[in-house]
Each structure stands twice: as C-alpha cells, then as structure tokens.
Amino acid sequence: MNGDQDVEYGAHLPLIDLGTPPSLPALRAYAAAAAGLGYRYLCANDHLVFGRPWLDGPTALAAVVDASGDMTLATTCSLPVMRGPVQLAKTLAAIDVLSGGRLVAGVGPGSSAADYDAVGLPFQERWPRFDEALRVLRLLLHGDGAEFEGRFYSTGGVRLEPRPVQRPGPPIWVASWGSPVGLRRVARLGEGWLASAYNTTPDGFRDGLGRLAEELRRVGKAPESFPSAIATTWLYITEDKGEADRMLGDVLAPMLHRPAEALGSAPLLIGPAEVCAERLAAFVEAGARRIFVWPLADEVAQLELFRERVT
C-alpha cells in the first residue's frame, strides 16, 4: 500500500471493444462500482476512428451521469478541432447541466492522422486550429459576451444556451505529452494539465511539472493551484506472467501500434500487484496527485483489485 491518501483516482469508461462490446447496463454498473470504490473521477476518451471499435466518449459519459454518484466527469480528452468547437461546447455544456456542474473539460488536438482524415482536415494544421478552437470553446462555455474571429473559427452570432451550471464555466484542462512547447500551451490556454501515462515516466512527469511551473509563473498563474492528472493509465493486475505478457503483446501493443518490448519496459500498471504498487508509488513520488486508470479486461474486478492491493 502507498499510503497516498492525498492522491485522487479516476476510472476510464471502458469504451474500447476488447472482446466484450460495451453496453449501457455494463457502463452503468462500472460507473456505480467506481463511485462505490472511492474513485473521484469518471473519464471518457475520444477518437472518431480507431484500430478497434470505440464507443463515442461524450455520449457514453452523458449516458451514465445518474450512475456516477458525485464523481467528477472528465473528458480525457475531447477533440474540439475534429468535432468543431461550437458543437463540442454544446455537448460539454449539456453534460455539465445534466450532471449538476461536475464536468472537467479535458481537450487536446488529437494525435491520430486518421481522425483528421475522417473529417477532411489537414493533420499538419492541428496546432493552429487547436489554439483557435480552444479560445472559441472557452468563450462559449464562459459566456462572457466576447467574440472571436480567427483564421479557422468564429463566435460571431453564436450564443451557447443553456449555459453550463458551473461559473464561469467548466475548467478546461489541456492535454500534452510534456514537450516544452506543449507545456507552454497548457500554461497559456489551460486551467489544468492532462499527461499521458503511456507517453511519460515518473522522471518525465516530474520534469514536466517543473517546466510547467516556470511557464505558469511567466503568464501570471500560480503553480500550486494549477491541477494536473495522469490519464490513460492502462491497468491489468495479475500474478500470472503469461497473462501479463498476453495483455501487453496481444492487446495493448497492436492497439497502440507500439512494440510489446517498449510497452513492457514502460511503467504501466500491468503485472503483479506488488510491481504495480511500486510503479504507482514512483508516479506519486514524482508529484502525481490525480491518476486515472483504464482496465484492459474484467473491468470492475480490476477496479477492486487496484483499490485493495495497489493503492
């Protein structure tokens, strides 16, 4: 056990069909179980197209609002460029209204060229489009009456109604794998940072927090009140080495288009409980205070194992 009572854990909705197609009863049971086990966040990731069937994230999050207890609902992250910032603002406002103001709006440009191809947008334009889309999203969600006219997007004549419950609006956390330019964007445009568990390490996350603190001070924000979270923390606790290897080589590697050897050397929470606890403790020691896990199979049982044997 880590004794990490100051760490909050979140559970990703199991949106990917890894052998068991998602269903509303299963998602509701998962959300209720997570709430009962003390998870503080319920998360939904976002892809339009993927190597395996992927249930739409914002729709799934809205569908389990009433089963989620008092958990914070988080998009981790949603895609304003591909969905359109006005359309996404409408969706996020609805989730905030239906949940009584429990939404964290995590957003990112998306790392998949296939998603961009699917909506007919140039992948090389993702960064300037994302910067503009994020400004539009904030103006609409905060409803302060200001207007934006950019190269790609405009808020002219657009008013978001009904408004979100939260005032001035749901906090917007920006996703970044931790590059210097990415963390500058997080500091400039975000109200929180979403890191990626399988694209960082404890040392990398610690260094990212340090760089982010410098950038936040540069733009006049207080680092100590700026939240961060490690998302998409793949989880499968097993004492069976063969089963752990199967999860890495047969499930995760082809899905992420990563070599199994590289994933095997990453600090993923896959394998014996003691190993997972050590890896988790390293992230906590590095400064992680919010960690969102995603079970790869036996989802509710894995949420229970994680709380009983790892945290």
17-60 pLDDT tens trace: 998 899 999 999 999 999 999 999 999 999 999 989 999 999 99
How many Å apart are CA 151 and CA 105, to the nearest integer?
A: 24
How do residues 214-270 score in pLDDT, each as one tens digit? 999 999 999 999 999 999 999 999 999 999 999 999 999 999 988 988 888 889 999
Interval 106-131 mean pLDDT: 94
DSSP 141-209: HHT-S---B-SS-B-TT---SSPPSSSS---EEEE--S-HHHHHHHHHH-SSEEEEGGG--HHHHHHHH
Q: How far apart are the first and last CA of the chain?
A: 5
pLDDT at 78 over 90: yes
Question: Which pLDDT score, from 0 to 100, does residue 145 have?
Answer: 74
Residue 200 has pLDDT above 90, yes or no: yes
Predicted confidence at residue 59, as pLDDT, reads: 97
Q: What would the mean pLDDT of 102-112 be, rounded to a whole number? A: 95
Q: If you search the block for the tokens 């330019």, which residue do you land on?
A: 181
The pLDDT mean for the chain works out to 95
Residue 176 — pLDDT band, cuts 50, 70, 90? very high
Given a cut of 50, whether residue 146 has pLDDT beyond it is yes
Percent of residues, the chain, with pLDDT higher than 90: 90
Percent of the chain with pLDDT over 70: 98
- For residue 36, the model assigns a pLDDT of 98
- In whole angstroms, what is the distance from residue 285 CA to residue 73 CA? 26
Options 3.20.20.30, 3.40.50.2000, 3.40.30.10, 3.40.50.720; CATH of 8-78+172-310: 3.20.20.30
CA 257 vs CA 1, 26, 217, 260: distances in Å: 33, 28, 37, 9
State residue 261's pLDDT score: 87
pLDDT of residue 4: 52
Q: What is the pLDDT of residue 1?
A: 46
Q: Is the pLDDT of residue 283 over 60?
A: yes
For residue 51, the model assigns a pLDDT of 87
The torsion of the CA quartet 301, 307, 309, 311, rounded to 10 degrees, works out to 150
143 pLDDT band (50/70/90 cuts)?
confident
Domain ranges within the chain, ordered by starting residue:
8-78+172-310
Looking at residue 19, its pLDDT comes to: 86
Question: Taking residues 182-208, what's their average pLDDT?
Answer: 96
